[in-house]
Every structure is written in C-alpha cells, then in structure tokens.
C-alpha cells in the first residue's frame, strides 16, 4: 500500500505544569519536525494515466499552510494555565496565537491533536486520504510516533465534536 509522507519543521514554545520537572514548568521552546504518513481510505490500483494516489500539492497544501501559518511560533498552553488568562486579558490579539490543549501540551498530546486536525482537513477534502501515522521530533534524541485513532486516546470528555482539533479550520483554540 502506498503512503504519502510529508515533513514540516516548526518552532514552538510551551510549558508543562502537571509533571515534576521544574525545568519544563518554565516557558521554553523547541524546533520540531512533524512527519505525517497518509494512506488512501479505499486503496486502488494505479490508473495508467496520472498514476497517483493524489497529487502531492493537493494532499499537503492545507496541512502545510496550517503548520506554517498557525502552528509555527505558536505558544502551547494547557487550558488551565494561568498564563492563558493573562494573555486573554492583557494581550488578546496575541492570545489567538496560543494553541490551547486539554492538559499539559506534551509531545504525545500534540501528536494526537495534530493527527486529529489533519484528519479533519482530509475528511473535508473528500476523505480520499487519512493519516495513518504521525511523528513529532521534539529534539534530535526524542521523537513521538503515534498510529491509530487519536480521538480514542485524547483526554475525555474534552474530545467533543466541537473541539478545535476536530474542525477543518485554522483555529488553535476554542475561545
């Protein structure tokens, strides 16, 4: 079976409050790579003409725009992080660049949220492809790979149908 594989680099900042790492509780950043593996939802033989599952530009266009224009240089904060309330009160224009996550914005959670968002984009484009796997390289020595249904492992009940990661739009938060 063919897979279309696309990579993108983005910079981000986050902080993790729930764990025991004091270093990670302070805002800090990473230069990350995200690699997605797309598969046809209904595999078929090549057609003898175009011989493509889907043109690359169509398969990756919206996704790359989302990563480049919204995820890149976004601050990732948990929905209960007091910094989020501060930004919403004092710098509401910049608050739109904050990715709001259900709990600490770990690389594991980010992989599931981004995979769900990509699947929403793909479904809105007719559903010919779905994301079979996603890898996020947080550092040169730490990578998270997820395969499966991201909605099955996201914190509940916050995986409701209206959440930003289930919508085929460019949002990073629900408020």
Q: Compute the distance between CA of residue 34 and CA of residue 148 in angstroms, rounded to an integer.
A: 16
Q: Read off the tokens for 84.
A: 């989020």
What pLDDT score does 158 carry? 58
Sign for the pseudo-dihedral over CA of 21, 101, 117, 10: negative
pLDDT mean across residues, the chain: 94
Percent of the chain clearing pLDDT 70 (strictly above): 98
How would you classify the pairing of strands 74-78 and 4-14?
A: parallel
What pLDDT score does 174 carry? 87
What pLDDT score does 11 carry? 97
What pLDDT score does 159 carry? 57
Over the stretch 15-31, which tens digit does the pLDDT of each residue have? 999 987 888 999 999 99
Q: Is the pLDDT of residue 164 over 70?
A: yes
User: Is the separation of the CB atoms in 146 and 133 below 8 Å?
Assistant: yes
Specify the pTM: 0.95
Residue 134 banded pLDDT, cuts 50, 70, 90? very high
């Amino acid at each position: 079976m063919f897979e279309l594989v696309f990579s993108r680099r983005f910079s981000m900042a986050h902080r993790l409050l729930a764990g025991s790492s004091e270093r990670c509780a302070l805002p800090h950043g990473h230069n990350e790579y995200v690699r997605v593996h797309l598969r046809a939802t209904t595999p078929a033989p090549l057609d003898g003409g175009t011989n493509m599952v889907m043109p690359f530009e169509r398969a990756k266009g919206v996704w790359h725009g989302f990563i480049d224009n919204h995820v890149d240089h976004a601050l990732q904060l948990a929905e209960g992080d007091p910094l989020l309330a501060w930004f919403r009160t004092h710098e509401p224009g910049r608050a739109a660049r904050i990715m709001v996550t259900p709990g600490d914005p770990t690389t594991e959670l980010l992989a599931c949220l981004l995979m769900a968002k990509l699947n929403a984009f793909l479904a809105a484009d007719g559903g010919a492809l779905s994301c079979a796997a996603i890898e996020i390289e947080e550092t040169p020595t730490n990578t998270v790979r997820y395969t499966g249904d991201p909605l099955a492992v996201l914190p509940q009940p916050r995986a409701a149908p209206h959440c930003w990661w289930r919508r085929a739009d460019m949002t990073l938060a629900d408020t």
